[in-house]
Structure 1
Amino acid sequence: MSAIDIKNAKKVKTATVVSAGLLGGFITARESGIRPLGGVVLAAAGGWAVRSWLAKTDIPTTVGLTALYIGGFGASHPLAKKIGPWPAVFAVTGASAGAAYLLSDSK
C-alpha cells in the first residue's frame, strides 16, 4: 500500500471535478484577489478530469471535453460582461459538467 491512495481514474465523477474547477477557480480568484491562484485551482481540477477522461473514453472525446472546459473558462469572461459574473460562471459550468457527465461519467 502506498502512502497516498489515489482513486482509480475510471471511478472519478468528472462532472463534479469540472464543477469544482470552474466554480472553485472563480471563487478562489475573486475572494483572494489573486487571479493566478484561481488558475491553479482550475488547472488542478482540469488535470484530474483529463486523467479520468483518458481512462474512460478515447482521445477525441478527451480533447473535446478539455477544449470545452478551457473554452468555457475563456468564454465566461466576455459572457460576464453581458449577463454578470455569477450567471456566466454557472452557464459555462453547467455546459462543461453536463458534457462530462454525458460523454464520460454515464458510461
Structure 2
Amino acid sequence: MSRRALTALIAALTLVVGFGVAQLTDVRALGGAVLVLGAAWCAWRSRPAVAWWRIAAVLALGGVGFVATHLLARTALGAWPSVLLTAAALAAATYALLAPRPSDPSASRPA
C-alpha cells in the first residue's frame, strides 16, 4: 500500500474509530482525542511529501466532514451510515489532495 493510500485510509478510520469510541464509552472527549491524534498522525506523515497547504486542506475537510456527519446523522440516513459516507469522502479527498503535483516544491519527494 502506498504512503498516500495509507494516509487516506487512516484519515477515514479516524472518523469511524473516533465515533465508535465516543459511542461505546459515552465520553465524547475520547472520540475527539481519537480525531485529534489521527489528524496529527496524517499531517505528520504527509509533511515531507506534499506542500503544507495540501495538508491544511485535508485537515479543513476533516473538520467539515465532522460537522457534516453530525448534520447527516439527524436525517433518515442515521448515525453510522453518515459516519461511513463522510469517512469515504474524506478518504477520497485525502488521496487526491496528497498527490504531489509538479508545481509543488516538494513534488520530487515520494508521497
Range class of TM-score, shorter chain: 0.7 to 0.9
Residue in structure 2 matched with residue 45 of structure 1 by the alignment: 38
| 1:91 maps to 2:85 | yes
Compare 51-60 and 29-38 and name the one that shifted more: 51-60
Which residue type is aligned with residue 104 of structure 1? L
Unmatched 5+ residue regions in structure 2?
Answer: 101-110
Q: How many residues align?
A: 98
TM-score by length of 2: 0.79
Residue in structure 1 matched with residue 11 of structure 2 by the alignment: 18
Question: Within 1, Cα distance between the matches of 2:17 and 2:56?
Answer: 22
Identical-pair percentage: 31
TM-score by length of 1: 0.82
Residue in structure 2 matched with residue 74 of structure 1 by the alignment: 67
Structure 1 outlier segments of 4+, above 6 Å: none
Question: Within 2, Cα distance between the matches of 1:51 and 1:89?
Answer: 24
Is the CA contact 1:14–1:105 (under 8 Å) kept in the aligned structure 2? no
| 1:64 maps to 2:68 | no
Over aligned residue pairs, what C-alpha RMSD do you find? 1.9
Higher-helix-fraction structure: 1
Is the CA contact 1:76–1:92 (under 8 Å) kept in the aligned structure 2? yes
Unmatched 5+ residue regions in structure 1?
Answer: 1-9
Is the CA contact 2:14–2:34 (under 8 Å) kept in the aligned structure 1? yes
Spell out, residue by residue over 1:12-48, the C-alpha distance to the aligned partner (whole angstroms, 9 max, x if none): 7211211221000000000111110001111100100
Q: 1:33 aligns with which of 26, 35, 47?
A: 26
